Structure 1
């Protein structure tokens, strides 16, 4: 996708935002601003928190809007500001990326989803590394993030995909929305798994989970991906790490994977992955220093 440039070939300053509620802790600005800085792009990415997507309509419609990240609870409503949506965003039913092209009357805003593509790259990389194609997957939760998770599993060639949620009716909705593309198997609980999963993706907030919940879901080997990243170490990851044959992926790594795809869509450039990861490490060191009264 074309980068945000003027007719003279020099980058014009654009404003990028993350839209959502309860996102004051987001590290997305750290990631994307590091990428812009690496390429000497004059763009700025910041947090715009609001209870409703309508509250930030002026930012989306502004001529200087370059693109945006969208998190809950706005992923299911932001389509109203889109000129178009990608086929994957339509199927998943959630938008986490706004891509702007053109200017003035020719400007378009496309709703896309990089949550799934980030997860897909993680699964495929693991399969390539281990030389094993997983056949059974488990998604924990049935919210907006679960839709990207089940679709990523499907695209990665996983044949049997289980989904479990505290409220079964929400899982039924997810199953129905994907039934034209593939079948989901709803489990009544984590203690009733027909075949042990080789890929597990957690999509629920860490604070509502306990280690005991996950004691029976791990077989001899596999890949466990956590989408929650606050805190970094979650009960799901803790249990997975007790099983020697399991690789774990933190929520921060998932965030980075989807951010890499966003950066490509927004700028047309390859994301400077090492610089972005380094920026997060610097951010966390500074946060730890402040929490320790300026002493590390």
Structure 2
């Protein structure tokens, strides 16, 4: 089986190391590579990717752009696709995000930083989990407003949107914070200070290494602090299930060996 991950940039992805070591340890006849696609060439390159690979993952900035090229199995209004198998598209982000939260209370309001495909997956899970009050902070307000419009349609959810400049003000009024943006991937500070983090119930940064937000949250003794490794683990296990590859404890062991 030939598998890959596509995105831009893609050199930071740990997925080839994780899956590669697992396939080798379990003597599974499969390969997994990283393919960087220039966004300007996506429409032409994606055709050969679909033809040449049995399955693949999709990351920034193609989770929504991939949809017209495959048969989407994703329930609206999620839209974003991050896992493909035999021409069919799935979203394993919301499952990966939600698994670590299943036995943890989610206090509201929940502030989400970002309004891309990952943010959509977060809102999708939170709505299914019964959360009713979400605050989205994003550089481009129109993207956040689109999420608000699409997710509020069926009721039982209030979504408010704010510009990134309001991040401290919104954080101060929230009980839980989720960073679903790339802010912090290169060590950038979100602007959220210890004053806003004090008394928070949850900080969940989807970037899977230590970010200033994660480190500050731990110093401020936020009750539950999660980084993106937890999401990546459960997302990966769901990917393997879709691809028909058994995982279980053996995969978890390999995952943490690579990601520690």
What TM-score comes out, normalization by structure 1 length?
0.76
**Partner of residue 59 from structure 1, selected from 38, 45, 49:** 49
What TM-score comes out, normalization by structure 2 length?
0.85
SS in 2 for 1:190: helix
The aligned length equals: 249
SS in 2 for 1:92: coil
- Residues 26-51 of structure 1 show CA distances to partners (whole Å, capped at 9, x for unaligned) of 11011222332343210000011111
CA distance in 1, matches of 2:160, 2:243: 36
CA distance in 2, matches of 1:223, 1:133: 7
> Residue in 2 aligned with 1:284?
none
Measured after TM superposition, the shift of residue 185 of structure 1 is 1.8
CA contact (8 A) 1:190 1:216 kept: no
**Alignment pair present for 1:75 and 2:63:** yes
**Alignment pair present for 1:213 and 2:161:** no
191-200 or 26-35, larger mean C-alpha shift = 191-200
> Residue in 2 aligned with 1:285?
none
CA contact (8 A) 1:164 1:171 kept: yes
- Residues 152-189 of structure 1 show CA distances to partners (whole Å, capped at 9, x for unaligned) of 22222222111111332221122112122433122451
Q: 1:212–1:84: structure 2 CA closer, same or farther, 3 Å change rule?
A: closer
> Residue in 2 aligned with 1:291?
none
**Partner of residue 159 from structure 1, selected from 132, 138, 144:** 132
**Partner of residue 113 from structure 1, selected from 75, 83, 91:** 91
> Residue in 2 aligned with 1:294?
none
- Give the root-mean-square deviation of aligned CA atoms: 2.3
Larger Rg: 1
**Alignment pair present for 1:145 and 2:145:** no
Q: 1:233–1:168: structure 2 CA closer, same or farther, 3 Å change rule?
A: same
**Alignment pair present for 1:47 and 2:34:** yes
**Partner of residue 27 from structure 1, selected from 14, 28, 37:** 14
> Residue in 1 aligned with 2:74?
86
Q: 1:55–1:211: structure 2 CA closer, same or farther, 3 Å change rule?
A: closer
List gaps (5 residues or longer) in structure 2.
Answer: none
Measured after TM superposition, the shift of residue 19 of structure 1 is 0.6
> Residue in 1 aligned with 2:215?
238
